[in-house]
Structure 1
Amino acid sequence: MKMELDSRMESSQKRKIKSSNFPYIKTMDELDCSRFEHLSEAFIYELASCDFVSKRQNVVMIGNPGTGKTHLSIALGVKACMQGMNVKFYTAANLSNELIEAQEYKELMKIEKQLSKIDLLVIDELSYLTFNRHQSELLFKVIADRAERRSVIVSTNLKFSDWVTMFENTTMVTALIDRLTFKSHVLNMNSDHPYRAEQSNQGSNN
């Protein structure tokens, strides 16, 4: 009976990981915590407990390209799936496009309802594109609707003071940051030793 239960749990976890839309799979075991100069290993593994999801808290990762933001975001998402949580991964551009397309086909409310039921929403690369007023408002609504209800992980290259460069609706930026940072863990991911460069070096040595 225990083996059957374990098998069912494993199948459920695999389904959750598959439906989460991760671009690839990264785990905490693959993470080199020593590369994160501003984060302790104890804190990283505290996040990996996914207690922040249970408490409906957010995680905002700020750092230059190649500092391990996406790896950590995916690893935390996989951990949440393993604990039976529903997770969805998007780049900011993909999420924005999906919302615009849903609105065009009069399915926006359906998508918003689906997203509202996700325990952990991961929004990666919130920095590579600028968003017009309409896109800004759609993204804001998704994030605002989750405030104190569900958790979000956001990764970005830009410090908060530079977010006005991303959104045409600049008056909304302060409110967006307020929603994200309330009951939030803000992580400084920058390092003198870029995570991606180190990973590449390790790969070339294998």
Structure 2
Amino acid sequence: MNPSSLAKSQELLRSLRLKESAEQLPVIVKEAEESECSYLTFLTHLLEYEKKRREEKQLEKRLKWAAFPFHKTLDEFDLKEQQSLSKKHMNQLKEMIWLEQMYNIIFLGPPGVGKTHLAVGLGLEALYQGYKVMFITMGELIQTLKTEEISRKSQTKLKRIRKADLVIIDDLMFMAINQNEANLFFHLINDLYNNASIILTSNKAPKEWGELLGDPAITTALLDRILHRAEIIHLNGDSYRMKYRSTIFN
């Protein structure tokens, strides 16, 4: 291995924006020399490494942008604890055909039955399959929408939401919102309509949303867009958090 030739090759790779290959070149060259592989095999290994590292870095970036509150996969969800969701239905959700068809998923149920876990698990599954995903709570979303015109951070977040393939909105309608907030929320849903799938979690059924929105016209228009292509999944049972809560007493 000629040090000067190696350094020059690394410099050329960096100039071609092949940074990952440049860093790994000494290792790949050494392995090629030891295995006495052909020039074509060496080049293939180099390019495969660059492709793999780029995909890994893109995944890391998408994971960061997704802003999941925790990392829980669908495989970690205990279906025995949630009898209202069958294994067959879980497998259909994993296949992501609904995402390709831009269907929405609505998880309804009381607190602690696994709505957010399922939403995050589906988000992770979609992300690993190459989709762009964004997670946000309803409270944070309303605040972000209200500050979009004055906050660069809010502008960036909403830009990513509007460009996502899947948007997860957690704790939908957990509290009443005023008419201006409802209007901002409607316009975002309208932007996403026919452009992305949405996963919603809520402890209130769609028929109750009108009471919290306070505007019949906005409620009707919102439900029309959300429910046009949607699967509503009712989760029931006792709260996992209460069932498996820890105690300081023996």
Task: Normalising by structure 2, report the TM-score.
Answer: 0.73
Match of residue 9 from structure 1: 55
Matched pairs, number: 202
Provide closer, same or farther for how the CA distance between residues 75 and 158 of structure 1 changes in structure 2, counting only shifts above 3 A: same
> SS of 1:166's equivalent?
helix
Do structure 1's residue 57 and structure 2's residue 103 form an aligned pair? yes
Contact 1:16/1:84, CA 8 A, preserved across alignment = no
Bigger Rg, structure 1 or 2:
2
Percent sequence identity is 28
| Aligned ranges 1:2-151 → 2 under 5 Å | 2=48, 5-104=51-150, 113-151=159-197
Match of residue 32 from structure 2: none
- One-letter identity of the residue aligned with 1:66: G
Do structure 1's residue 194 and structure 2's residue 239 form an aligned pair? yes
Computed over aligned residues only, the root mean square deviation of the Cα atoms, in angstroms, reads 2.5
Contact 2:144/2:158, CA 8 A, preserved across alignment = no
> Cα offset for 1:106?
9.1
Task: Normalising by structure 1, report the TM-score.
Answer: 0.87
Provide closer, same or farther for how the CA distance between residues 34 and 3 of structure 1 changes in structure 2, counting only shifts above 3 A: farther
211, 229, 233: which one aligns with 1:165: 211
Q: Which has the higher contact order (CA 8 A, sep 6+)?
A: 1
User: Could you list the runs of 5+ residues in structure 2 that have no partner in the other structure?
Assistant: 1-44
Do structure 1's residue 154 and structure 2's residue 192 form an aligned pair? no
Moved more, 73-82 or 49-58: 49-58
User: Could you list the runs of 5+ residues in structure 1 that have no partner in the other structure?
Assistant: none
CA-to-aligned-CA distance 1:39-62 (integer Å, 9 cap, x gap): 211211221222222111110111
